[in-house]
Amino acid sequence: MDEGVVTLAEPSPSPSPSPSSSTAPALVLSNSGKRIDFTSGKKKKYVKQVTGRHNDTELHLAAQKGDLMAVKQILDDINSQMLSTTGEEDDFDMEVAEIRASVVNEVNELGETALYSAADKGHIDVVKELLKYSNKETLTKKTRSMFDPLHIAASQGHHGIVQVLLDHDPTLSKTIGPSNATPLITAASRGHEAVVNELLSKDCSLLEISRSNGKNALHLAARQGHVAIVKALLEKDSQLARRTDKKGQTALHMAVKGVNREVVKLLLDADAAIVMLPDKFGNTALHVATRKKRAEIVNELLRLPDTNVNALTRDHKTALDIAENLPLSEESSEIKECLCRYGAVRANELNQPRDELRNTVTQIKKDVHIQLEQTKRTNKNVHGIAKELRKLHREGINNATNSVTVVAVLFATVAFAAIFTVPGGDNNDGMAVVVSSASFKIFFIFNAIALFTSLAVVVVQITLVRGENRREESLRVEVPIYREATTSLFSQIGEVQLLW
């Protein structure tokens, strides 16, 4: 069937269908095959088939052209095209309203309604007319490109249509389009100041909504250099300048990629400290501006006292390193001169003192390690010498012990023998000759002392001095015992010699 052709089934000359008819006529709204069936048998058949570029209906074509009269005619003709045999006017009006809503809500192959087409083309009068017959579904229905009537109007900068739609339903401002973009984000990126202000006047919370990549309306407006929109957004919320996307980029990172110096000034006036905020790769605004060869913006950033001209990126590069890797051009030369004027250096020059300090610390650690190793070896040698000294000491003690033991045994033997062989002999009855003399008594006493002392020394040598497990304690005990035993022995020797 040709484009724009309408087929209307005329009533047959035969009598009207009786209430007992088993099949009711149908109204076909478009060639999409959508139908509204009336089972009451009281309606006559109405067939309407239109084929446009994208299977558009007549209403689509009229809305796209902005033909208000045609739109009204199509919607009004539903009354005349609907033939009713009922006398109930209320039922008839309800059926007509239902059909009109279905016609207005009908989509073409692109998923576009007639309201969407009118909003896209900027035909505000057609939009107003279609809103009379539109429901919530018509207002929020998205096309294959994920736009709805408000979003496409905001994208195209049709302020009047945006205003009309928001007045009709203010909640439409939070509709979401491709990549989670709101109408505010789309309008800001396109530079439609009036639309942005209209949306913000209806709902300031739109500023908090970001795209799926984390970029908000300020990011996109700053990137495109829309001064008025950036100013309007910052007036609503100056902290918006600190918001970052998923790459850690602020609106300033986006602004320095562009060429509008005024946008950069606005952002820095809102918060000068953002000049040193790095993205997730460590790039500050100065690094980005240098890489993009924005000489004027680089100069603007360097004027700020907060700017660190030698800040390092994650891959350890300064702005001067980046500038020197740029292709030779007038802009790159100007940027290098500007950076050097503000004290910029290369990363390897910047890290030279740090490397020297690191080398010094490494050398100190190495020297300390060598000293510790030498000390360890010295301690090992000293331990060996001490071990040898202890061994010699033990041997000396053992020799002295053996000597003292031999002497003690000798004295004990002599003293024991003197008990039975007393000086001066004895009588026939075995009594000592000098038993009654004082000198014999003294001899006997000292002899007994010598005997028991010598035996005590022998016992000490065997039980205490010879103990290997208590050699340290033995050393402390041996010396005084040796001294006493030796003194006692020599005393006894002197006494015996005197008596004899």
Q: What are phi and psi of 343, to 5 degrees?
A: 85, 25
Sheet holding 46-47, edge to edge: 35-37, 26-28, 46-47
Question: For residue 138, how many C-alpha atoms fall within 13 Å in the half-sphere facing its CB?
Answer: 24
- 188, 233 contact by CB (below 8 A): yes
Convert the pLDDT of each residue in 206-234 to its tens digit. Answer: 999 999 999 999 999 999 999 999 999 99
* Domain ranges across the chain: 1-113, 353-499
Q: How many residues appear in the chain?
A: 500
pTM of the predicted model as reported, rounded to 2 decimal places:
0.62
- C-alpha angle with apex 160: 158 to 163, nearest 5 degrees? 110
Question: For residue 131, how many C-alpha atoms fall within 13 Å in the half-sphere facing its CB?
Answer: 19
Q: Which of 128, 107, 122, 117 is nearest to 55 (CA)?
A: 107
- C-alpha angle with apex 15: 11 to 20, nearest 5 degrees? 105
Q: How far apart are CA 252 and CA 243, in angstroms?
A: 10
Q: How far apart are CA 298 and CA 116, in angstroms?
A: 45
Q: Which pLDDT tens digits describe the chain residue by residue (500 residues)?
A: 344 333 333 333 333 333 333 333 344 444 444 444 444 444 433 344 455 678 888 899 999 999 999 999 988 887 776 654 444 555 667 777 788 888 899 999 999 999 999 999 999 999 999 999 999 989 999 999 999 999 999 999 999 999 999 999 999 999 999 889 999 999 999 999 999 999 999 999 999 999 999 999 999 999 999 999 999 999 999 999 999 999 999 999 999 999 999 999 999 999 999 999 999 999 999 999 999 999 999 999 999 998 999 999 999 999 999 999 999 999 999 999 999 999 999 988 876 566 667 778 888 988 898 988 888 888 888 888 888 888 888 788 778 777 877 887 887 787 777 666 666 666 666 676 666 777 777 877 887 887 778 778 777 777 766 665 455 544 445 545 555 555 565 555 544 444 44
Q: How far apart are CA 172 and CA 250, in angstroms?
A: 28
Q: How far apart are CA 275 and CA 304, in angstroms?
A: 8
Determine the residue type at 314.
R
- 275, 285 contact by CB (below 8 A): yes
